[in-house]
Chains A and B, each alone.
Chain A
Amino acid sequence: MAQVRQLTIPINRVEGDLEVRLRVEHGTVVDAWSCGTLYRGFEKIMVGRQALDGLVITPRICGICSTAHLTAAALALDAIAGVEPPPDAVRIRNLTLMAELLQNDLRHTFLTFMVDFCNPAYRNLPLYEEAVRRFQPLQGSTVKAVLEVTRRILEIVAIFGGQWPHSSYMVPGGITTVPSQSDLLQCRHLAAHFRRWYEDRVLGCGLERWSEVRSAADLDAWLEEDERHRDGELGFLIRFGRAAGLDQIGRGEDSFLSFGALPIPEDSSVRPADGAGKAALIPAGLRRDGHFLPFDPARVTEHAAWSWAAEYPGGRHPFEGLTEPQTSRKSEKYSWAKAPRYDGRPAETGPLAELVVAGRPLFTDLLERAGANALTRQLARLLRPAELLPVMEVWLNEISTERPCYVPVFEPFHGEGCGLTHGARGALGHWVKIVDNTIRHYQIITPTTWNASPRDSLGVGGPWEQALVGTPMPDPENPIAVGHVIRSFDACLVCTVHTIVG
């Protein structure tokens, strides 16, 4: 029987289309190639359209992070117009984006990631039957509860933005909405409802108790402390994840990137934890090889050496991105996705990157002990709501119905600007050039483009290509651990592979 085999497997329960090509020796992955298999040509769609059209078109890049794309598109236009939206408009933009993140963090964890715990490969684990009871698609008890709580929190987006997904209510200069007292009251109720559910079912304790967990040792002590902690979804994830070895797979490159997101209005009582840098709830920065570096947007480039796109030497900054789709499959190219690099090296992004760049002690400690792994990535995702919920309550209380949410801005737009923010999967950027109100250049780098990156012009693989190396794969027909590693990045391929034409 051959000990070395190469195979391609499609990964479902990711957003969009993904296949990974694997080289497997003696039941272990020794090399991996990440193939984005869908290309829709968004930049080509944008070029030649009028300045505001990105507010309608780009949310349609992704059904799950349309508010993030709208945010990036609006920020780029704010920059080009040289306008600062009023503080309440900033709050409301943030609140809708935060609601979208909450939605994603629960739906991904329970409808996508933990569904794998129902895989027959785990039928001998003591927690298996309980996993099936909770996470069986469209039937599990947790699945039903998550559908309810996530659609409730999305009502916040609908109240301010008219609908979710695919709203276009953010415009340069602010938002179109004029919120009412009823709107604000209902949003406060929806946020409180979510928090109660999260504390009761996910944490098994209040956010105050949870905030005392500041190290790996604290986490173990918290788990031992109370049956409710062990029985909650977070405790279940930790217990099952450890039993299934999720903390042993998916290490990847030690490089974590945040563009920064959720700007804090000057008149807000919310203050960033460290008080440094541009005031944003999700601070910008890079943590590489254990060291923190400030984020410099000029250091972002994209390579196309292994992408189905015309090649150029090295990498290009997204303002200078230039490529044409290439359809020949005769070369060694293997993905529609390009390869973004920061300072010439790959970087992973997402909730774990946000939390370590923000210096959250629990995640800094977990990384220093064992490096990144599939379980830690998912823990970060499931714990991001704990960061967001208290701030949502504050911002909802700070909004006035008497102050404007829009500063008039008039066409024509002219100039270049970028909108940097975070979507559910991490760092998102739109780089836009407009001449006489006509879009001449529109380049988008999505979070999954970073994580799902193919090799770059130096042949260095992207984050999850590296993270897959060493993953055990005893049964090629049921590559469960490979799925865990990929899904721990919350793969969103519809977002990834539109960014070919610049």
Chain B
Amino acid sequence: MFHSMYWLQGGGCGGDTMAWLSLEVPDLTEWFALVGIELLYHPAFFNGTAVEHQRLLARIAAGEQDLDILCLEGSILEGPDGTGLADTFMGEPKKDLFRMLAARARVVFAVGTCACFGGVPLEGGVGATGAQFHRWDRGGFLGADFSAGSGLPVINLAGCPCHPDVLAGALGAYAGGRELALNDYNMPLEWFNVLVHQGCTRNEYHEYRVEEKNFGEKGCLFFHMGCQGPLAYGPCNKYLWNRRSSKTRVGVPCFGCTRPDFPNAHPFFRTRNIEGIPLELPDGVDRAHYLAYKGMAAAAAPERLRKRQTWV
């Protein structure tokens, strides 16, 4: 059972916290009561003085204050030029503070893709990396061999931002003493074994390869518009955002923001393809069979879809 929690913001935008504030069932105040987590510090909520915060950190460092759960939001910035000065706390690189806290914590969560894999600042020249991964590679800031006090590696809750239901569910599970099965990137399978594509309201367009070639045409966004829904794992079309919708439902392609290579180097809003066939096919499919199937499906597409008269 884990109770005490410290939340550190590194090189990030605060968006994971902002999304978390929109948690609904239960809301944030109810969630804390329900899962029994005591928040020692979060930069958005802490109401003590700076001196009290420093004393808290000193007690954690000395082992006088238990630290069960450490959440990192944002990348670890080791730059520029290895100094760590791109992100400091009281003049010292924040990465050093994270290392101290991670050594004390019983379980560490990387919240959001920046914290998991390096994320948005990766190309910013600031030495960005994730807590225990750097893009697809195990290692990151803490190193491949790191395990927290409970023996667990850093649990990666990816997404830009991390979906509040994922955050609330994962922290709630560990707080209640339940361990979650993880994939190869230490992401809980409960939320990251389902593709963004699943539950997309445009699935029938995908099925018959009815394609959108420009915005607002109400077709499948995978073949031309750069949608990574069939390639990216996440519950966006299962739990929805703000309990309302998702990018693909309003005609915005999935940008693969849970993937370790987000933001990817190739352009957004554009599917890389060879003669009209996407370079990256839905995760795991057999290329030859998929192409044959899509060719036949397009030929079988019903008139009502080709004319796109339905609302998506």
Q: Are A155's CB and B242's CB within 8 A? A: yes
Contacts of A162 in B (CB 8 A): 241, 245-250, 252
Size band of the B side of the interface? Answer: 35 or more
State A42–B14 Cα separation when bound (angstroms): 15
Query: Taking the complex as formed, is A167 at the interface, i.e. its CB lies under 8 A from any CB of chain B?
Result: yes
Say whether B216 contacts A57, CB under 8 Å: no
Alpha-carbon separation in the docked complex, A404 to B215 (Å): 11
Chain A 146-183, CB within 8 Å of chain B: the 1/0 string? 01101100110111111111111101011111101000
> Contact: B15 with A176, CB < 8 Å?
no
A420 to chain B, nearest CB (A): 21
Which residue of chain A has the shortest Cβ distance to B11 in the bound complex? A40
Are B255 and A168 touching (Cβ within 8 A)? yes
Query: Does A40 contact B247, Cβ atoms closer than 8 Å?
Result: no
Please name the residue on chain B nearest to A51 by beta carbon: B267
| Alpha-carbon gap, A148 to B88, bound state (A) | 34
Q: Which of A39, A151, A159, A329 contacts B245 (CB 8 A)?
A: A159
Q: Does B293 reach chain A (CB closer than 8 Å)?
A: no
B295 at the interface (CB under 8 A from A): no
B-contacting residues, A14-72, CB 8 Å: 15-17, 19, 37-42, 44-45, 49-50, 52-53, 55-57, 60-64, 66
Taking CB atoms and an 8 Å cut-off, the chain B residues in 71-104 that contact chain A are 75, 77, 80-81, 83, 85-91
Q: Which residues of A contact B75 (CB under 8 A)?
A: 40
CB of A60 within 8 A of CB of B13, answer: yes
**Which bracket fits the contact residues of A?**
35 or more
Q: Is B138 an interface residue, CB under 8 A from the partner?
A: no
Question: In whole angstroms, how far apart are the Cα atoms of A145 and B218 in the complex?
Answer: 38
Interface pair A158/B47, CB less than 8 Å apart: no
Does B18 touch A at the CB level, under 8 Å?
A: yes
Residue-wise, chain B 49-66 has the 8 Å CB interface mask toward A (1 for contact) of 111010000000000000
Cα A131 to Cα B99 with chains together (Å) = 37
> Is B284's beta carbon under 8 Å from chain A?
no
Interface string of B224-248 (1 = CB under 8 A from A): 0000000000001000111111111
| Interface residue stretch chosen among A4-12, A202-210, A259-267, A454-462 | A4-12
Of B119-127, B150-158, B170-178, B187-195, the one contacting chain A is B119-127
Interface centre among B43, B86, B218, B263 (most CB of A within 10 A): B86
Query: Which residues does chain B contribute within 8 Å of A356, judged by CB atoms?
Result: none
Contact (Cβ within 8 A) A169 B22: no
Stretch at the interface among B25-33, B141-149, B203-211, B297-305: B25-33
Taking a contact as CB atoms under 8 Å apart, the answer to whether A165 and B45 are in contact is: no
> Is A139 in contact with B247, judged by CB distance below 8 angstroms?
no
User: With A10-B50, A147-B21 given, is the CB distance from A40 to B120 under 8 Å?
Assistant: yes
B160 within 8 A of A: yes
**How far, in whole Å, are A245 and B126 apart by their CA atoms in the complex?**
42
Q: Is the pair B246, A478 in contact by a Cβ cutoff of 8 Å?
A: no
Most chain B Cβ neighbours within 10 Å, of A63, A138, A164:
A63
Could you tell me which A residues sit within 8 Å of B by CB distance? 8-13, 15-17, 19, 37-42, 44-45, 49-50, 52-53, 55-57, 60-64, 66, 107, 111-112, 115-116, 118-119, 136-139, 143-144, 147-148, 150-151, 154-155, 157-169, 171, 173-178, 180, 308, 325, 327, 329, 336, 404-406, 408, 410, 477-479, 494, 498, 501
A-B contact pairs, 21 of them (CB 8 A): A13-B47, A15-B44, A44-B125, A50-B267, A50-B268, A52-B267, A52-B268, A52-B269, A55-B268, A63-B19, A162-B250, A163-B246, A164-B241, A166-B161, A166-B257, A167-B247, A168-B255, A169-B247, A177-B250, A406-B216, A494-B14
With A39-B86, A64-B15, A329-B85 already in contact, 11 other A-B pairs whose C-beta atoms are closer than 8 Å: A10-B53, A40-B126, A53-B268, A63-B15, A111-B44, A158-B241, A159-B244, A162-B241, A162-B245, A327-B80, A477-B51
Show the binding face of B for A, using Cβ within 8 Å: 9, 11-19, 21-24, 27-29, 32, 39, 43-47, 49-51, 53, 75, 77, 80-81, 83, 85-91, 120-121, 123-126, 128, 160-161, 214-216, 218, 236, 240-252, 255, 257, 263, 267-270, 311-312
